[in-house]
Structure 1
Amino acid sequence: MATKGTFTLHRIIAVLLVLLLGLLGSCEEQVPLVLWTHQWTPQANQPPPAAGHIVEQQQLADYLDKMLTTGPRNVLLFLQDKMSVEDFTLYGGAFGNKQDSVFPNLESALRSSSSTLVLPAVSWPSSNAVIGHLQEQLETSPLYMDPDMLSQLTLNASSPALLVFRLPYYIGSDLMSAKDVLSGNDEVMGQVVSVMKGQSVPYTAIYTALQPSRGASSVSMEAAVAGGRSLLQARGGYRDRERERERQRKMREKAGIYAPVEFKEGESSCILLWAKGLSVSILRSGRWESHDLTPSTFGEGISPKMHGSSCDKTKARLVLNYENVLGHRNFKLIFALSQRHYKVSARRWFTMDAVELEYDGTKATFNGSRNIYAPVEYSYRCESVSSFRWPQLVPRSSKDPSNQWRVTFEDFQIQGFNVSGSKFSYASDCAGFFSPGIWMGLMTSLLMVLVLTYGLHMIMQLRTMDRFDDPKGPAISVPQTE
């Protein structure tokens, strides 16, 4: 890491360009990592790696450990699906030409930060381990968030927090498509940094990816040179703000970013639903037939029919009406929620009592009240909600038609009470406290304790003889009488 005076933005540019020349042949195996802090930490001053050096897991862990020891422990992790160092040079001249940059917010954050670290070549298995290492060092679970949720969260400088922001990456035949997605990701980072500045909480930010992108490496050298030259030219028609917004809207739609389904009772919203994927499957002739409901539920300009929905202070019912789903002309997907006060916790909780599939006069019901619940002030969010493979939704009975159906909700979030505007409240995540690794450790420890207890019990049962024969003494004689 370096200060503003010793590690300027020009030095960052030089490091990136030099390391890029040494990594052109092997760029598919590494991802870049950019780290900056909002608070000056002189003890965290570390030199960047030599040109062409690939940072492995142990060296990256040393960088992170020193950062966590001396810097702020509120960590913002911007985790992109894919990224390579070419994304900074081919798709916008990041850290270079300010006028034509796709990353103005990232550049601004680096210029205003007290210390920065740029690692252009990190082995992507090491970048995958970043979130686990941060979780272990901070001793806190990660919170997957978006900028709107962050504005509702109050952070404390004395309490560590690991906030993860997932960013998409799109590769298509048009080079501008990936450029637009990267520009949208930069806007997300700008919003997050703006919220953190508003709260006046020191933070450490990390921007990296899970795996390298393939788009940049597959482009020919001629295309790369042409792209590099175009960065120095005027953008022409692309300066039109309306066209830029339209392109970004389409690309975000393709990346799966869209507004939630919103049901209003009068003028106020009372139910919100969002999912990256909604699908249902039915068993026919020994085979599962699936139907994806996502395109007809979410997206710009899509307004699903919700007649039959209702909500009040204690119950909420969201009904999504579809046509021609798996051979059924009229098909309904119904979410039934309720809330009540629990004396044990002294607060109100809401549960998703059932997910119902209604078709041709038949109703299949899945019970979710045992697994899907959250405080009534929060929304409920889960990476995967399904009726199979560790199901959160179970058939109401063995004879219910739901045994012939499967429902799957990917990256699912719902709120049926205390909705404010069109935004979700802070999410209560379904992730359990005990991870598989913790369970394995506990079971192994229990087995070792049982073995030790059995061994001690056997040792304590050993007994010695009351008397022994002395082989050196006189033999025992028994007199005989006639």
Structure 2
Amino acid sequence: MAGSRSSSRVPVMAVIGLFFALFATRSSAAQVPLLMWSSDGLPPLASPAAGHITSNEQLSAYLTSAFGSGPHTVLLFLQDKLSKDDFTVFGGVFGNKQDSAFQNLEAAMQSSSSSVTLPALEWSDSSAILALLQEKLAVSPLLVDADTLSHLSVNTSASNLLLINLPYCTGLDKSCKKVLHDNDEIIGKVLSIMKDKNVPYTAIYTGLQPSRVISETSFSSQPAGRSLLQAVVPDVKAPIMFNGTGSGPCIMLWAQNLSVSLSSTSEWTDLAAQTPSLTGSLCNNSNSLLVLSYENFTLRFAMSQRFFPVSGRNWFTLDTVQLEASGLTASFIGSRNIYAPAEYSFHCQSVTSFRDTLLVPNNTNQNTTQWRLNFVDFQIQGFGLSNGTDFSYASDCAGFFTPGIWMGLVTSLLMLLIFVYGLHMIMQLNTMDRFDDPKGPSISVPQTD
């Protein structure tokens, strides 16, 4: 999600093009890419999971941190249409810098102090990004071009929003690559003028709407065919976030499946496919409670953090998970197995209450002893959210020494012992210290009849 400045000589557009290709998604939601760089510096932004679509709320939270204080001059290069395919097709992905249609953009991002790349920004309206910048900067946009900007006096003591509109190919007169190359020349000219004026700036390059929208229905109508080498990227759901009294989220949870069952024979119900209500959730510096209320079920995740003198740091634990259904409540203890440093998140591929139990049942009620929980690809964090939009570094439940590693270590140790034993036997071989004299009398052995 975020790209930082690098000293590598590989063309930036090649990296961005491959980055967009790797983060391609089959979601039917319309998306536009967004590139952002600054001459002064930008707040860090963590990289997302593959297929992640940045929501307008996440972008708004990041712009708040970027433009939170002081005046800013923002250059908004707003192209009529733009998609990540434009970078992968026309950006010189295979390292041919001369073939790239974004040479000035590449040079600008490479020379900037920091940059941010959003390959898939949720798109809903053509004026969304402009309205969002107006809100954050509290100024109206000023439509300019390169010639106008060269004669414009920019007041750096106040915020400025300079809008530069860029066309897109229509297929009538110019090829898309030619149009994008001309737009890149305009970007280079504008940035050169800002450099000559010695005005610090933050530049954003995005589109009014996507140039290519790939609907998921187009895939379902195609025959499956031979799919051995096909890579299928599943849709990635947004994490569940609860906003406390502060400015951003204080609890985050994500799971591929949140399955519950009220008996060993009943069917599983996946709650992750439903949208919960977070009423009743709370968080502070020592305790967090996430309440997920669904139509027929309620899940409560109670977490706490405290200081451990032995390790010299704060740790958080998932104390209990409660499942409420039909007026009954089952409680499961997780504090003995589910824990992590307070500034980390906790992740586990499988969290269950019935197999390799990380959640231990703590309810003697006869009606709830058969209740079961099964969380797949589970990640939760109740404290120390760094940027308010992504999980912190994850402490995983998987042990380092897997059965395969143990087998390799034991086999290697056995072969080492055999080698050492053989070497020891060789070192114990000694030559004879006395030999027969060939010039002396021979040894005769008398024969008897």
Give 1 or 2 for the bigger CA radius of gyration: 2
TM-score for both structures, normalised by structure 2: 0.44
TM-score by length of structure 1 reads 0.41
User: Relative contact order: is structure 1 or structure 2 higher (C-alpha 8 Å, sep ≥ 6)?
Assistant: 2
Query: Comparing both structures, which one devotes a greater share of its residues to helix?
Result: 1
